[in-house]
Structure 1
């Protein structure tokens, strides 16, 4: 049984970064809970433990002590960023050469899979970095800290308010961890959920409703791919309304 420790940053009296109607502690907890649920539901032989499963405050040393005592095989500390101008995603490992190889291997696969999951959303890749951060320094197992977009950058905050982007962040963490540990997917489980083309995505609902009311679409198959001939019809309808 592989043991995974997921650390949702901040919590309780410590909100972390705040901006654009968001708190870092809330995003970190949502992603942490999602990673636990997905990993245990979709993969064999894995147990996921969380530093916190509710909105509580924990000192950094409490988090790493618990992870070390549990004998976890890896640790991922989940955060959001602030003050980054253009925003984006980045990940951190510890600077020490003695722990670099194992943590770098985890960072390589985790960073790659998260960025792959975020590709449809045009998230800037700020790169893989090393820093003297408590969560990656004091953990005895391979450890990576992820900075999942910028709370105080409007474009990133808009993405973090979308459930599909949160789901993408969860998926990237899950796939990266599973690949690093060599986990076997449970029979009948798939990371790729089949899309119901007749159901509009929540993030597009208002725009879809407005477009259908304007007559650009007939209201059917909101999730279907569009052909060039269908696009031509839409363009001509838009031209006729000018």
Structure 2
């Protein structure tokens, strides 16, 4: 069988990213899948767009290269985003009840099983050019979510070669040899952190990394009003500078009910934020740092801080510019 394969997006037209980088991961899976399918005796056209191509050229190029290849099946590799978890595979409604839907079901089940993540299944989409514009039966594989810690850990534990092997098994069967050698020992998942902000006299729902536990879908804490208090749960300390009092003492506790010792703030608008992570067990987790950013009322986010280092290179040791902060987010990374 002749199969067209591509890795979604390009470095110039990047996809999703947070704990995993979509372009880097889908390229690694794509390369392994092309090699595996060829090893099983199938003709494969790599239809991935060139790195310099921006949207929509990159997408049009993938489709035109696939159509020119004369392939019977097209497979596009992507990673998902939006706060969910697990594997899903998209197919065009015209393939409902046919081969395209079957391929989507089989691939989703195989990849989810290999990763140990939920199988979100085969889903119809009529708005994607890879599915609309290709002349062959086509599917789009959403391997896992870039913004979920469990998915990050599963991807790092299993590795791209084993994911590609699972896709090949589902699509063509007929393994050319033994299961790929195990990937190196998995790196433990980066821990989550929890935090809340109070704005307008009300504590907003708790955030876990960049996921709102209140279900709003927001990736930050804030409701557009000035933030008056910040409470954070992680090993280390955090500190705020307020309109009323300037810099307040460092806080090491997390208790939104204790405005004196369990959170940072004095009820007036917060102007700057500092955070510092103290790694507890580097042999187990590696050395960790906290990344965080703030946005002022009516404005976008400033550059991220990593502990007390401004990643934009300006040399600041705190997040903010002296304006009134209305949004905040934080998550952990390896040093």
Say whether the fold is shared (TM-score over 0.5): yes
1:161 Cα offset (Å): 3.0
TM-score, with length taken from structure 2: 0.50
Range moving further from structure 2, 58-67 or 72-81: 58-67
User: For each residue in 1:52-109, what CA deviation from the matched residue of structure 2 results, as whole angstroms up to 9, or x when unmatched?
Assistant: 2864435212211111111101001110001133x11111001236x75231122233
Within 1, Cα distance between the matches of 2:186 and 2:93?
40
Structure 1 runs not aligned, ≥5 long: 212-242
2:11 is aligned to 12
Assess if the C-alpha contact under 8 Å between 1:79 and 1:145 holds in 2: yes
1:117 Cα offset (Å): 2.4
Within 2, Cα distance between the matches of 1:159 and 1:54?
28
> Per the alignment, in what secondary structure is the counterpart of residue 48 of structure 1?
strand
Matched, 1:51 2:38: no
Higher Cα radius of gyration? 2
Within 1, Cα distance between the matches of 2:8 and 2:60?
13
Structure 2 runs not aligned, ≥5 long: 189-282, 285-335
**Which stretches of structure 1, 4 residues or longer, exceed 4 Å deviation after superposition?**
none
Query: Taking structure 1 as reference, are residues 56 and 172 closer, same or farther at Cα in structure 2, changes over 3 Å only?
Result: farther
Higher relative contact order (CA 8 A, sep 6+): 1
> Per the alignment, in what secondary structure is the counterpart of residue 18 of structure 1?
coil
Within 5 Å, which residues of 2 pair with 1:88-237?
88-96=86-94, 101-118=98-115, 122-132=116-126, 133-162=128-157, 164-179=158-173, 184-185=174-175, 189-193=176-180, 201-203=184-186
Q: Over the residues paired in the alignment, what is the CA RMSD in angstroms? A: 2.6
Within 1, Cα distance between the matches of 2:77 and 2:133?
16
Within 5 Å, which residues of 2 pair with 1:62-101?
62-85=61-84, 87-96=85-94, 101=98
Assess if the C-alpha contact under 8 Å between 1:5 and 1:49 holds in 2: yes
Aligned length: 186
2:37 is aligned to 39
Higher-strand-fraction structure: 2
1:23 is aligned to 21
Higher-helix-fraction structure: 1
Within 2, Cα distance between the matches of 1:130 and 1:150?
18
